[in-house]
Amino acid sequence: MKYVDVVIDNNSDQTDSLFTYGCEFDEVAVGNRVFAPFAMGNRIRAAYVIAVRDELTEPIKGLKYIAEIDRELSLDANAMDICLWMRRRYCCRYIEAIKCFTPVGSVSKRGKKRKPDFAEIPEDVRHALTAEQETAAARIAPWIEDRKFRTFLIHGVTGSGKTELYMRIVEKTAESGRCSIVLVPEISLTPQTVGRFIARFGKEQVAALHSKLSAGERYDEWMRAYRGEARILIGARSAVFAPFHELGLIVVDEEHESAYKSDGNPKYDAIEVAIKRARQSGAVVLLGSATPSLTSTYRVEKRLYERISLTKRYNDNPLPSVRIVDMREELKNGNKTIFSLAMYSAVNEELGRGRQVILFLNRRGYSTFVSCRNCGYVMTCGDCGIALTYHKTEDEAQCHICGAGRPVPALCPECGGRYLKLFGVGTEKVEETVNELFPGVSAERLDMDTIKRKGDIEQILGRFRRGKTKILIGTQLVAKGLDFSNVGLVGVIAADVTLNIPDFKSAERTYQLITQASGRAGRGDEPGHVIIQSYKPEHYAINAAADNDYEGFYRAELLMRKAMDYPPFSDLVQLTVCSGDAAVAEKEVDRLADLLRARADAMGRQRILGPRQAPIFKQGEVFRYQIYVKLLTYERTAFEDFLRGIKQTAAGVKNKDEKYSILVDVNPYNFM
C-alpha cells in the first residue's frame, strides 16, 4: 500500500491544496495522472501525484483510494518540481502550473494524424561559419558534451548569423542523444524558423507548437515530442514546457521580447522557466538578441550568464546607414503628411533600383482616437474605458482590449457639433497613404487586423519574399527576426509611439524596436538604409538606436533603474484587486495597502506604489485597482507566503456582495 498527495484537476481556489489518498498500485510515482473519487458525491476526477510515501504520519478518517492510473499520459518528477516552483514564484494555483505541462486538445477519433502544413520549406544552405561563429560554437560545445548547465547570452548584431549558430548547437545536442527546444517570440517567425530547421534536420525530427495551430495539430505535435518521435521542438513561449525527458538545449531567440511573459494564468516568464528546466537537466540555455534586455546584460555582469558577442554580419556587409528626421521641422516647413520629404525620396529611390521597402509603425488601425474639436469629447469603450481606434476597413471605432466596436456618429454625442474628427495614425492609414503616393506599386499590410485565417501570415510574408509585394507595412510583426535579402530601406514612421507608454521600460522598448526594425535592411549583398521619423529626435534611446550604441544606452538606462529600484535591481510585483463592485474593490485595495505599508516600515525605503485605479479601470463588469511592490531578492520567500495568505483570504469571502479577487503578476510587461 502506498499513500499519495494529489492535486485535483479543478481550477478553483477552494480546491487549491493537496489531498491524501491511499493507493494500491505499487508502481505509482510522482507526476502520474490518476483518477480518484472526490468530494461528497465521490465523482471520479483526474488528479496529479505530487508526493508518494509508504505510510501515514497519522490515520485519516474516511480515507479514499485511487481508482486508476492513466497509463497513456503522465508527467515526470522534474516537471512536478517545476510546477511547485512556479506556484511559489508566480503565486498561481497548483493545477494552473501543471496544465502548462499537459497537451491541448485530444486524440483524433478517426485515428488521423494532424500535422501542420509548412508549405514553404527552403533549400538548406549550410553557410561556413565565420570566425566569430566558430569561436562561439567552440565555447558552447564542451557544456553540451559534458551535460552541464550553463546560460549563454548571444549578443549578435542583426544579420550576424545567430540562427546558423543555433542550428549547429542543436546538431551537437542531437549527436549527444538529447533533445532541443527552440523558442521564438512571434507566430510570424515560427513558419520561417520551422522551415529552416526542417530543411536541415528533416520533417520527422522537428515538431512545432504555437497558438495558430488547431487543437488537434497541437495535440499530435505534443505527442510526437512526448513519445520521442520528434527530437527538436520549435514554438512560442509555451513550447518551453515541451515533454522531453532527455533535454539538452533550450534556445530563446530574441530573448528581449515581452512575448516571453505570459499574460494569462499562470503569469510565468518563459526565460525563467527555461533556466530552471535546464538547471534540472544539466542542459544549456542560449539567449540570443541584437538588443538584449537590460536584465540579461546585468546578469552577465554578475556572472550569472556568459556573454558571446557577434559583432559582424555573416556576409561582412556593413550595418545599414541611419538618418533621423525631426518631424517638428517638417511641420514648420508646411509638410503635414505622415511622410517626411526624406522618407518619400528614399522610398522612390529604392523602388527605382528594384529593391523592397519595409515601413514600420507599432500602432494598428487607421486613426488612434476619435475626438470632438468643439468640446473635447473622445469616443471610449464603455466596458474598458480606453479610447477607441478607428478602423476604416470596417468603418467603425474598435476597442483594442475587448474587441467591441461601433460606428462613428455624424454628430458629437456630447455637444451635438459637427466637429467629430479622426486623430493619430495607424498602419491602415500608412497603407492608404502609400497607395496614394506610389500608385501602381504593390503594397501589403501585416498586423493583427490582416491576419484573419490560418496561414495568412505565411502567405503575406511569402509574397514579400518572392518579390510580388514591393512595400510591406506593419507593426512589430515585421520588426523581428525576418530575413529578406532584397530590402533596401526600412522606414520607422513614428519612433515616439512606445516612448509615450506609461511604463518604466518604454525607453528600452523604443531602443529595441527601432534597432530590430532597422536590422531588416541590407541583409543581402547590398547595403541598406534606415530613416527614423521622430518628434523627439534628441531622446537618448532614439540616438543610441541610430548609432547602434547598445553599451551607451545600457549604461544610461541602468543608472535610472538603480536610482528608482526598478528591475534588474528588484522584482516589481503588480497586485490587482478586482470586484464587480467599485466600492468593494476600493475598500479592499486600501486594506491591502495598509498591510503592505506595515510590512514596508522595516525596509527603510519607500517601495510601495499606489494604490490607484488601473489604467483600464473597468474591464467588462469588473472594477480594478492596482498596487506595485518593489521587492529585493532576499525578501522573496517571506513575501511569497504573504501573497499566498492574502489570496486565500480573498478566496474565503462567502458573501457575494463582498466578493473580490487579487491577481498577482511578478515583473509584468502589461501595466494596463
Residue 515, C-beta contacts closer than 8 angstroms, at least 6 positions apart:
158, 290, 291, 545, 548, 550
> Range(s) for CATH 3.30.70.600 in the chain?
571-666
How confident is the model at residue 481, as a pLDDT? 64
Please list the residues that pair with 31 across neighbouring strands. none
Degrees to nearest 5, angle at CA 496 with 395 and 449: 30
SS3 state of residue 32? coil
Contact 137, 291 (CB under 8 A): no
Mean pLDDT by 10 residues, the chain (672 residues): 95 89 95 94 95 91 94 91 95 95 84 73 84 96 97 91 94 96 83 87 91 86 93 94 95 93 93 97 96 96 96 80 93 92 96 94 86 88 80 86 85 89 89 94 91 81 92 86 84 87 87 87 83 93 93 95 90 92 94 83 66 86 91 76 82 82 88 72
Distance (Å, whole) CA 508 – CA 512: 6
The CATH number fitting domain 321-364+427-560, selected from 2.40.430.10, 3.40.50.970, 3.40.50.300, 3.30.2270.10: 3.40.50.300
Closest CA to 183 of 279, 249, 114: 249
The domain defined by 131-310 folds into: Rossmann fold (3.40.50)
Distance (Å, whole) CA 581 – CA 575: 18
Please list the residues that pair with 6 across neighbouring strands. 19, 49
**Is residue 589 within a helix (H) or strand (E), and if so which, with residue range?**
helix 582-600
Distance (Å, whole) CA 544 – CA 552: 7
How confident is the model at residue 478, as a pLDDT? 82
> Range(s) for CATH 3.40.1440.60 in the chain?
2-100
Closest CA to 337 of 501, 529, 494, 518: 494
How confident is the model at residue 602, as a pLDDT? 55
Distance (Å, whole) CA 399 – CA 382: 9
SS3 state of residue 266? coil
Contact 391, 365 (CB under 8 A): yes
CATH of domain 2-100: 3.40.1440.60
What DSSP state is assigned to residue 290?
A: S
Give the global pTM.
Answer: 0.88
CATH 3.40.50.300 fits 571-666, yes or no: no
How confident is the model at residue 168, as a pLDDT? 97
Residue 111, C-beta contacts closer than 8 angstroms, at least 6 positions apart:
none
Distance (Å, whole) CA 629 – CA 207: 40
How confident is the model at residue 188, as a pLDDT? 66
The cell for 312 is 559582424
The cell for 618 is 473597468
> Range(s) for CATH 3.40.50.300 in the chain?
131-310, 321-364+427-560
The cell for 540 is 537618448
Q: Could you tell me the CA-to-CA distances from 658 to 88, 331, 583, 588, 642 in Å, in that order?
A: 27, 54, 9, 9, 21
* Helix locations, 392-477, DSSP H: 427-437, 456-465
How confident is the model at residue 158, as a pLDDT? 82
The cell for 627 is 498596487
